[in-house]
Amino acid sequence: MSENTSRTELSALGEFGLIERLASRIQLQQPSTVKGIGDDAAVIDPQGLHQVVTTDMLLEGVHFDLGYVPLKHLGYKAIVVNLSDVYAMNATPRQVIVALGLSNRFPVEAVDELYEGMLLACRNYGVDLVGGDTCSSRSGLVIGVTAIGAAKSEDIVYRSGAKDNELLVVSGDLGGAYMGLQVLEREKAVFTETGAQPDLAGHDYILERQLKPEARRDIIELLRQLDVRPTAMIDISDGLASEAIHIARSSGLGVRLYDDKLPIDPTTYQTARDFNLDPTTCALNGGEDYELLFTITQADYAKIKGNPSLTVVGHMIDANSGYRLVDKQGGEHELMAQGWDAFLRKDG
């Protein structure tokens, strides 16, 4: 968090002032952006390409806890999770629009930090922030981001394109963001009870996975270089199990995952053990990894084989065979998707 301790009330700026303050920091970089902030709507020139559009809402107390999430990181993450959806269509993100619900509890300086994170993500991914809505909230902070991307019609990859026997491939490693959250929640509880300063040493990797995730633009570029076109693709926001089932269901197929193939970083693995959690469960259901999960033809296997960023975790099977998980002993179980459903019951 910033060392800046000055506090300017939002009411001192007002909506117009806040919008002008934000707009003055934005440098448009997309040739496709015709008009950014400052009218009833943003205007985009599609330049002959199809447009993809996705939205995500982040609510305080549900998706984030300002007790341990710095606002700049939160702003960064709010943008990135939407860009991840655009990459999962094999499209290039170009614009974002941001709706914010703010309460008086936030001074202008806090809003600045949030936007700083958003604009940093925009710069890093070559995206323009072109509009939004700012309103007062009586409850917590509410962030709604809509991302717009572009692609040639024939390049767009849907969830529904997988075929029987195709390989299921995941980028990066899994479960880290979830374990990062566990560490943050533990240290918050300790702090609340004892006032002890958080002990986050040795957890850099998983904390970054939770607090400052990246969208896998590099994987989209890698696949183009390797001349591999995924047949189906999704990003992992709810957990591998849930997303694998999404691809299978959308494609009218079943899926089989292999426990011993799951890519888990040693830090994630060890932290899970320290928390008496099963690393496999964390990798399957942890969520928020924002890796890409996709299917490729058997013929394309040779092109990705041995690449450290890509792991084959299973393959598609016929619909009647269902959703299956093969454990390390070779036993087969039904693959269960957790995530949002359980979440709603607990937190809703």
Q: Which of residues 147-176 bind a copy of itself (CB under 8 A)?
A: 147-149, 153, 156, 158-160
What is the nearest approach in angstroms of a copy of itself to the Cβ of residue 27? 19
As measured in angstroms, the least distance from the Cβ of 149 to a copy of itself is: 7
Closer residue to a copy of itself (CB): 142 or 211: 142
Decide: helix, strand or coil at residue 161: helix
Backbone dihedral region of 10: left (phi > 0), alpha (psi from -120 to 50 degrees) or beta? alpha
**317: β partners:** 254
Shortest distance in whole angstroms from residue 42 CB to a copy of itself: 5
CA dist 95 and 27 (Å) reads 12
Q: Which is nearer to a copy of itself, 54 or 268 (CB)?
A: 54
User: Mask of contacts with a copy of itself, 315-344, x by CB under 8 A?
Assistant: ------------------------xxx-xx
Nearer to a copy of itself, 99 or 190 (CB): 99
The Cα 176–Cα 211 span in angstroms is 11
Nearest-5° angle of CA 264, CA 215, CA 204?
50
> Does 146 interact with a copy of itself (rule: CB under 8 A)?
yes
Q: Are 79 and 72 in contact (CB under 8 A)?
A: no
Name residue, tokens 């990459």. 87
Roughly how many angstroms between the first and final C-alpha of the chain, as a whole number?
A: 29
Residue 132 makes contact with a copy of itself by CB under 8 A: yes
- Asked if 171 contacts 219 with a C-beta cutoff of 8 angstroms, the reply is yes
Q: Which of residues 5-64 bind a copy of itself (CB under 8 A)?
A: 10-11, 14-16, 34-35, 38-46, 49-57, 59, 61-63
The yes or no reply on residue 253 touching a copy of itself (CB under 8 A) is no
- Map the footprint of a copy of itself across residues 270-299, applying CB under 8 A: none
Min dist. Cβ of residue 344 to a copy of itself (A): 5
Site string for a copy of itself, 191-230 (x = CB under 8 A): ----------------------------------------
* Residue 122 near residue 37, CB atoms below 8 Å: no
Say if CB 248 and CB 255 are below 8 A apart: yes
Which residue(s) pair with 314 in the sheet? 168, 257
What is the CB-side half-sphere exposure of residue 181 using CA atoms within 13 A? 16
| Residue type at 128 in one-letter notation | D
274 three-state secondary structure: helix
Residues in the chain: 348
Choose which of 4, 139, 192, 298 interacts with a copy of itself (CB under 8 A).
139
Identify which of residues 49 and 207 has a Cβ nearer to a copy of itself in the complex. 49
- Using the minimum distance from each CB to a copy of itself, give the nearer residue, 109 or 208: 109
| Among 130, 215, 262, 264, contact with a copy of itself (rule: CB under 8 A) | 130
Total residues binding a copy of itself (CB under 8 A): 76
CB-based contact 216:172 (threshold 8 Å): yes
- State the Cα–Cα distance between residues 86 and 108, nearest whole angstrom: 31
* CB of 276 vs a copy of itself, minimal distance in Å: 27
Per-residue mark of binding to a copy of itself, 66-105 (x: CB under 8 A): -------------------xx-xx-x---x-xxxxxxxx-
Query: CB of 260: closest distance to a copy of itself in angstroms?
Result: 28
